[in-house]
Amino acid sequence: MKRAAFMFLIVWSLLSITGAQPPAGYYNSAAGLTGKALQQALHDIIDNHTVIPYDNLYTCFLTTDVKPGNIVWDMYSDKPGSTPAYVYTYGAGQECGNYNSEADCFNREHSFPKSWFDDASPMYSDLFHLYPTDGYVNNRRSNYPFGETASATWTSSNGSMVGPSSWPGYTGIVFEPIDEYKGDFARTYFYMATRYYGEDAGWTGSDMTSGAQPKPWALGMLLAWHRTDVVSTKETNRNNEVYKYQSNRNPFIDDPQFAEKIWGTLNAIEETGAGSLSLSLYPNPAGEFLNIEMQGYDCPGADILVFDTRGCLVRVEKLDDGVTQLDVQELASGIYFIRLSCGRETATTAFIVD
């Protein structure tokens, strides 16, 4: 192999490992922003993508979701690090059709179920949330929310499960993908929440989403998946391939910290008390909920006092062991203050309700 070609392969491999490569300046307008301002800026960057006809998706999958040997990269049957029970090969005529069990055929899975947005365009064929998956598993998933279950009623050959939710805040039926792909689906949902931010008012929604936006229980879970299952080379390559078709990108693959800056710990205000007690509040500004995290002391059950700008006490909640989630939907838009005492230490922090 010529030296130049050899060096090119090394550089390309490093780029694939370290992250997707957006065009220079692609995210410049989002620099320095957090919270909803950042989500709006990212929306404006990835909005108005090139819409692909739904019938063309199988052709797109040939480059967006393919493993060596022209094998379909199906996250509902794949078993990373071991041999799956079956594989599909592109061009073998196994697109659904009919299916009675796993391994009969594969189809186009709306990982963000189409009934949640009423089968409307451009969501219907947006490649960033459409994946090739086994038709039978896809059918068993139905339009259930993604989630986690401790008592599965059905399990696929690769370990994906259907069952009642065990994640706090929701008890309905969920579909749990395997751990190796939970981050992929979390970043898919962050993309949907951002690409269709401000465009989802008429969507039916679901137990998992309000329009395109994850509900509080789901957002907490998706952030946990995002942090645990980090961006893979598969996602990086797929992001680059989808960009060729749609001329937009998934920002949360390009820069995983965008999720933290909008919904997580990097969109926080911290206030230190007189001693070592400190509070971290996120997201701030808050829409539906506010996470409260205390550092320095262990004080579960302590009172969380919420005051308005007149100094009137408007809420009293109890501190949980860990991160406390405060529902702020009933609070009017404006500035509020949280005061929390633990022993002799007290911390007070401001937050905003949009």
16 pLDDT higher than 60: no
Q: How is residue 253 written in tokens?
A: 């693959």
Q: How is residue 315 written in tokens?
A: 């809420």
From the list 97, 67, 99, 98, the residue with the least C-alpha distance to 83 is: 67
Phi-psi region of 70 (alpha: psi -120 to 50; beta: other; left: phi over 0): left
CA distance 155 to 322: 32
Q: How is residue 221 written in tokens?
A: 């879970």
For the stretch 227-249, pLDDT in tens is 999 999 999 999 999 999 999 99
3-class secondary-structure state, position 162: strand
3-class secondary-structure state, position 295: strand
DSSP state for residue 151 in the 8-state scheme: S
Q: Residue 264: what pLDDT? A: 86
Mean pLDDT estimate for the chain: 88
3-class secondary-structure state, position 291: strand
Which of 68-82, 290-304, 336-350 is most confident? 68-82
Q: Residue 312: what pLDDT? A: 74
With DSSP H G I counted as helix, E B as strand and the rest as coil, what are the percentages for the chain, rounded to 5? 30, 25, 45
Domains of the chain plus CATH, in order, are 35-256 (no CATH), 269-353 (2.60.40.3080)
Q: Residue 20: what pLDDT? A: 52
Give the phi and the psi of residue 179 in degrees, each rounded to 5.
-55, -35
Q: Per-residue confidence at 303, pLDDT binned at 50, 70, 90?
A: confident
For the stretch 170-226, pLDDT in tens is 999 999 999 999 999 999 999 999 999 999 999 999 999 999 999 989 999 999 999
What pTM was computed for the model?
Answer: 0.78
From the list 333, 331, 326, the residue with the least C-alpha distance to 314 is: 331
Q: Residue 305: what pLDDT? A: 87
38 pLDDT higher than 90: yes
3-class secondary-structure state, position 42: helix
Q: Residue 268: what pLDDT? A: 67
For the stretch 86-136, pLDDT in tens is 999 998 878 898 899 999 999 999 999 999 999 999 999 999 999 999 999
3-class secondary-structure state, position 316: strand
